[in-house]
Amino acid sequence: MEKLISEFSFGLFFWQLFLFVGLVLLLWKFAWKPILEAVNSREDGIKDALASAENAKKEMQNLQADNEKLLKEARAEREAMLKEAREIKEKMIADAKEEAQAQAGKMIAQAEESIRSEKQAALAELKNQVATISVEIAEKVVHGELEDKKKQLSLVDKMLNDVTLN
């Protein structure tokens, strides 16, 4: 202890105190404060960046979920549309078939009608012609037959028989 006290140098103490306090003040102003502030602001910056990255990630996830939802909806819609279209198509085909059948039926009916009327007309004409020809033939026959009395009579008889048969 005595050694320590005798060793104690007031001048060195004074200079150490003076220089060290000066150093603390100077360094605080020119070094520590700006360094600590810079480091703090950098750390805050990193923290902010991390937080915003996290936010972006969350937003991204939300977006993705939205997208998925939209996609699902779109798919469902497409499905529905396709189904409808198919139905329409089938209906159209069915309609067309029906109409075609109806049309065909109608045409067939018309054709049959016209065929029948044509036949009727043809038959009527045939009958007329046959009648005319028969009359002519009869005229000719009668004309021939009437030359012979007996023949005339027999003819009349025959004709009469025919007529009744008819």
Partner 1 sequence: MRRKFSIKKITLLLFLVSFVAVSQHHGDEAGHKEATTQGTSEDAQKKSIKDYINHHLLDSYDFGLYSYTNDEGEKVHVGFPLPVILWDDGLKVFSSSKFHHGEEVAKVGDNYYKMYHNKIYKTDAEGTLNFEEGDHEHPTNVKPLDFSITKNVVFIFLVSLLMFIVFSRMAKSYKKNPMPKGAGRFLEPIILFIRDDIAIPNIGKKHYKKYMGFLLTVFFFIWIINLLGLTPLGVNVTNNIAVTFALALITYLITTFTANKNYWGHIFWMPGVPWPMKIILAPIELLGTIIKPFSLMIRLYANITAGHIVLMSIIGLMFLFKNWLGSSLSFGLAFALALLELLVAALQAYIFTMLSALYFGSAVEEHHDH
- Distance (Å, whole) CA 27 – CA 36: 12
Least distance from partner 1 to the Cβ atom of residue 50, Å = 15
Site for partner 1 contains 23 (CB under 8 A): yes
Least distance from partner 1 to the Cβ atom of residue 56, Å = 21
Site for partner 1 contains 108 (CB under 8 A): no
- Distance (Å, whole) CA 95 – CA 89: 10
Nearer CB in complex with partner 1: 38/108: 38
Give Cα 105 to chain centroid, integer Å: 34
Site for partner 1 contains 106 (CB under 8 A): no
Site for partner 1 contains 21 (CB under 8 A): yes
Alpha carbon distances (Å) from 135 to 78, 87, 131:
82, 69, 6
Least distance from partner 1 to the Cβ atom of residue 46, Å = 9
Task: Compose the 36-75 pattern: x for residues touching partner 1 by CB under 8 A, - for all others.
Answer: x-xx-xx--x------------------------------
Least distance from partner 1 to the Cβ atom of residue 40, Å = 9
Site for partner 1 contains 28 (CB under 8 A): yes
- Distance (Å, whole) CA 138 – CA 109: 41
Least distance from partner 1 to the Cβ atom of residue 57, Å = 24
- Distance (Å, whole) CA 99 – CA 93: 10
Nearer CB in complex with partner 1: 4/163: 4
- Distance (Å, whole) CA 135 – CA 127: 12
Contact 120, 133 (CB under 8 A): no
Site for partner 1 contains 19 (CB under 8 A): yes
- As a dihedral over the C-alpha atoms of residue 109, residue 110, residue 115, residue 117, rounded to 10 degrees, the angle is 110
Q: Name the site residues for partner 1 (rule: CB under 8 A).
A: 4, 6-17, 19-28, 30-36, 38-39, 41-42, 45
